[in-house]
Amino acid sequence: MTIRVLIIEDNVIYAQGLSKALEESDGISGVYLASNLDSAIDIINRRLPNIVIVNVTSKLRGKEGRAYAGISLIEYICRNYKSISVLAMSSSEDSDWAIRSIIAGAHGFIQKDAHPIEFLFVVNRLVKGGGAILSSKRLNVIYGNLFSSVLTSREKEVINLMAKGYTNTEIANKLGISVGTVRTHVTNILQKLNVHSRRDAVREAERRGWLD
């Protein structure tokens, strides 16, 4: 499978260096660069990249001159381009950026100073459908708590039963709650994961590595 990568980064020199490193790797058929909002959306629509790498702290200018945060672009891409895996990156070691990125829908997070080989490893894993990846010197300690920051304990129980094919009635009987309460939990899960169906919710939870 050929891999097409789009790097969205307002530091052009950094983006060019990362692009060169990825282009020299086997399996990467194209690396594209965007430093503003309009060029990013245009490349996504024309080139259909498998992977989009976004600097979460970038300030990306639109046609009207307004600056858009990289984290907002992650939300937009994950909501409108389901076939794309988004890898968030930041130069900050603050774990809050990783949590915010995954909640926004990103499928992985990596620090900008990571070695190109690490970038390549993460890109290949995402293309193969690996779960949520946090690649950082200080992030391993937060991964275990990340799921709870997105879904409640009851919602986690519900999504796992949904993954096993349980109906709302069966989930209600299993958990000892009403069918109406189950419907509320399902609605909350869909909203939090930015999806529109139970199947998509299960697929997204599986891709992030959140199923038992």
pLDDT digit string (tens) for the chain, length 212 residues = 689 999 999 899 999 999 999 988 878 999 999 998 899 999 999 999 999 999 998 888 777 777 778 888 999 999 899 889 999 999 876 677 888 888 888 888 888 988 888 888 888 888 877 655 666 554 444 444 454 456 788 998 999 999 999 999 999 999 999 999 999 999 888 877 777 889 888 988 887 677 87
Q: Among residues 110, 143, 176, which one ends one of the domains?
A: 143
Could you tell me if residue 65 is inside a domain? yes
Q: What is the CATH number of the domain that holds 79?
A: 3.40.50.2300
**Cα Rg for the chain, rounded, in angstroms?**
18
Specify the number of domains making up the chain: 2
Residue-number span of the structural domain to which 189 is assigned: 151-207
Q: Taking the model in full, what pTM does it have?
A: 0.65
Opening angle at CA 76, ends 130 and 200, nearest 5:
45
Cβ-based neighbours of 212, under 8 Å, separated by 6 or more: 160
Q: Among residues 143, 173, 188, which one ends one of the domains?
A: 143
Q: What is the CATH number of the domain that holds 185?
A: 1.10.10.10
Q: Are residues 64 and 115 both part of a single domain?
A: yes
What pLDDT, on the 0 to 100 scale, is given for residue 114? Answer: 85
Could you tell me if residue 212 is inside a domain? no
Q: Are residues 92 and 159 both part of a single domain?
A: no
What pLDDT, on the 0 to 100 scale, is given for residue 133? Answer: 66
Could you tell me if residue 81 is inside a domain? yes
What pLDDT, on the 0 to 100 scale, is given for residue 144? Answer: 45
Name the residue type at position 204.
E
Q: Are residues 49 and 26 both part of a single domain?
A: yes
Q: Are residues 86 and 28 both part of a single domain?
A: yes
Q: Are residues 29 and 129 both part of a single domain?
A: yes
Q: Are residues 104 and 164 both part of a single domain?
A: no
Cβ-based neighbours of 45, under 8 Å, separated by 6 or more: none
Q: Among residues 143, 175, 196, which one ends one of the domains?
A: 143
- Give the chain's end-to-end CA distance (angstroms, integer): 29
